[in-house]
Structure 1
């Protein structure tokens, strides 16, 4: 639990100015979605808890998809 709280603090809350409780809840929900769906974890062999398919180069060029208000990004291939 301490590791997750530390990750939330270092990767999210240290970088964002929180205005009120509603804003905090939105930021934390966005970060949790990023944490489970995009962020790689060494204990999972650099995969995320919600596994994603490997996208081969023939699927197109790589684009950055902003997450957590642009604080982090997910990279995907854009079909041509």
Structure 2
């Protein structure tokens, strides 16, 4: 399938640039763990330009247009894979 090939090439390129070029992998078990974490990050948290900066498996939040609410946002960061990947979310 020609279209699937281009999608996988893009995923491999992103995985390599965002994960594999930034960490030292010790063995196959460590590689598989890192790839599982990256897959979860890619599908649930990473912003995608084609989806208007939303993640594929996450609902797009409503836009905040009120300047008072924008300045009062409390954003939390969660590190994954020892700080190689970062997830950002609104604090409840």
TM-score, structure 2 length as denominator? Answer: 0.74
Inter-partner Cα distance in structure 2 for 1:43 and 1:77: 22
Q: Kindly report which structure 2 residues correspond to 1:1-80, keeping only aligned pairs within 5 A, or say none.
A: 1-52=8-59, 54=61, 57=69, 61-79=74-92
Q: Structure 1: which 5+ runs fail to align?
A: none
In the alignment, the residues of structure 2 paired with residue 69 and residue 28 of structure 1 have an alpha-carbon distance, to the nearest angstrom, of: 14
Q: Which stretches of structure 1, 4 residues or more, deviate above 3 A after TM superposition?
A: 55-60
Give the RMSD, CA atoms, in angstroms.
2.1
Per-residue deviation, 1:67: 2.1
Q: Distance in 1 between matches of 2:59 and 2:78?
A: 15
Deviations for 1:11-66, whole angstroms, at most 9, x for unmatched residues? 00000101000000000000000000001111111111112352865996211111
Alpha carbons 2:75, 2:90 under 8 Å: kept? yes
Q: How much has 1:72 moved relative to structure 2?
A: 1.8
Tell me the number of residue pairs that the alignment of Structure 1 and Structure 2 aligns.
79
Distance, in Å, in 2 between the alignment partners of 1:12 and 1:68 is 9
